[in-house]
Structure formats: C-alpha cells, structure tokens
Homo-oligomer: A and B are copies of this chain.
C-alpha cells in the first residue's frame, strides 16, 4: 500500500427531500450562480423547489443554463464571466456529472486571472475556487464528491480531465428519487461509467491494498445487482439509492488512495468522445472488456488479478486462474450488452471508420500509459480496432 493523503471534505445529504438543505448556502454568501443543462430540471420541478428554498434563504441566483453532455470550454468561459462581473459568491450545479464538472471549472475560473482552459490542461493552476454545491440528478460520474472535472474543446477535438482539491464540492444533495426519470440509455451508461471508475482503481499490481480492493468489489457487486433492477423498475428506490451512493464512492478516493491507479480505459474513451461526441458510458462499456482481454494477453501474470475479480465479484469457483479470468471478462461483456443493453462495439455507436485511431491512441497514451499494464499507442490502436 502506497503512502497517501485522504480527504473527502464534501458533506452529503442523502435521501428523499434532502434538497431542503440548500438553505445552508446562505452561510456562504448571498449570490449563487445556478448551473444546469437542457432544462429537464424545469420540467420535473427540481428547479422550482431549489429556487424557492434559495429565495427563502435570501440567496439571489444568476443562471448559466444549457451545459452540454460533454461540457464545452465555451460554456465554462461564459460562467466565469458571469461570476466575475456579478460578484458571485458560490456555484450551485443541478444536474449530472457534466453540469457539475462545468460548475467546478467555472468556480475555479472565477478566481483565476487567465483563460479557464489553462485550468483544464494544467491542474496545478487550480489553487482555489468559489464554494461548489450540487444537487445530483444522474448517478454516474461521481463528480458530486470528487476532485475531477472533464471539459471539452470540440474546436480542437480535445477532451481532458483536470483535478484539484479546490474542486471538491462543499456540499452535495443526493436524492435517489431525482434519478427515477433517468432514461434506460443513461441509466445503463451511468452504470458502465461507475463500474469503469471502480475497475480503474481495482486493477493494480500494488500488493496489500486489501481494504481498497474489498471496497471495490463491494461497489461492483452492488452495481451489478442494481443496474438491471433500475432498468426494469426505474422508480425502485433501493436500486436508485445504491447506484447513486456506489457511484460517489467509486471515485472519491476511497478505493484509489493507496493503490495508486493510473487511469487507462477512461483516457481511451475520452478520445472517442472528443472525436465522435458519443455517450461516455457507452464508450467505456465497449472498450472495457476489450481492454481486459488485451492486457490479459499482453501480460498473462494479470490472470491472478482477473481471477480474484471473477471469484469475489462474480462468484466463479475453480482453481485455474486463467480460466476464471477469461470467464470473468466474458461475464463483464455480457453484463454490459445483455443485462444493461449497452452497445457491443464502436460501429453500434456510429463510428464507421478507423481513420482517427492513430492520433486518438497517441493522445490517450499521453493522458495515461496505464500503470496496471503499460500500453503503447500501438497497443491502444489495437484495442480500438478490436472494439470496432
């Protein structure tokens, strides 16, 4: 187990009706920037509820709406401009991970003199931010409780993740009933996203990270149990609650700190989204089993890791690590495609040419070469091709 610093400063209010705690924003100032997406929060009433609570608490609101599914730097810049010109005290995101990611970089950009894109490509420049709050409406990215944000500049086909302690929200409201209306497609993609976050930390060669590994297995078992239930019964509270809480813990440091993961599948998927604007979780579901097969073949010593995964998460019994490893990967693929209805390959999400694979692979390996099994850009091209 590596040395680490553990810090989860975000207070979570979890459960039905917890949005009432937005009144606590008044402790942080009198002017909030409200960040949201396409307006679904107006249709389902969350917007009105939040505005009433904030109004009663004496918090005035400036709005930044229309945040995109892969949030754009142009929207971030617009938010930063609002903060700077209107003396905003805090930023409140209501939405999913994209909205929260956008709000985070807006909050940091508000206290930064240069262009906000600097903060995306150079996390070191993130030293402070306005207080960040969120009301979560989609279980997936874990942005509600972590240090990360992913922002795109589609004019350059760039999509980068940034991070900073200052980006950790001060408080997030997690009300599982707000996810009852999430579509099957987004529910499935969100589940693939949280599972991928877990895999990125879980597959490590660092020995002695039992606490982290057993936690990761607990999260995976919970996601595998409740993902299909949430698809079949969108208003099943236990399913939505467990997916929501599991997603937050998948990336808040709990399973990563000490095991020193170097993200691998996420950087590969970011290139898919940057070039083709596909749904992030769908790209992850396509790439993950292919990546598993590739690294198992490239480094057969990883059979022991995949066998532990097979035994502890899928309950596969037997003595042959390689056999269990292969079955575990097979079950992972079938879970995504058969149980969750996710696309099986890149053609299924509209990618019909391999023309960008080489440049995408080069960028993906720049983002992270992978620590579990290091990958060259030629390896990544092979993975893209196998996923085609």
Contacts and interface: CB of A to CB of B under 8 A. Distances in A.
Interface string A207-223: 11011011101110110
Given A6-B12, A211-B245, A215-B215, 18 more contacts: A1-B14, A1-B237, A1-B238, A3-B13, A3-B16, A5-B11, A5-B12, A5-B13, A6-B14, A9-B9, A208-B237, A208-B242, A210-B242, A211-B249, A215-B218, A217-B218, A241-B258, A245-B258
How many copies of this protein are present in the complex? 2
Contacts of A211: 218-219, 222, 242, 245-246, 249
A225 B18 CA distance: 39
A7 B11 contact: yes
A10 to B, nearest CB: 8
A4 interface: yes
Contacts of A15: 1-4, 258
A211 B12 CA distance: 15
A5 B173 CA distance: 9
A336 interface: no
A225 to B, nearest CB: 7
A211 B224 CA distance: 12
| Size class of the A contact interface (CB-based, 8 Å) | 35 or more
B1 A18 contact: no
Contact of A4 (B9, B14, B222, B249): B14
A208 B257 contact: no
A254 B222 CA distance: 15
A226 interface: yes
6 contacts: A1-B241, A3-B14, A6-B14, A208-B238, A215-B218, A218-B218
Interface in A1-37: 1-9, 11-18
Given A218-B218, A222-B214, A207 B238 contact: yes
A211 B208 CA distance: 22
Most buried by B among A6, A210, A238, A241: A210
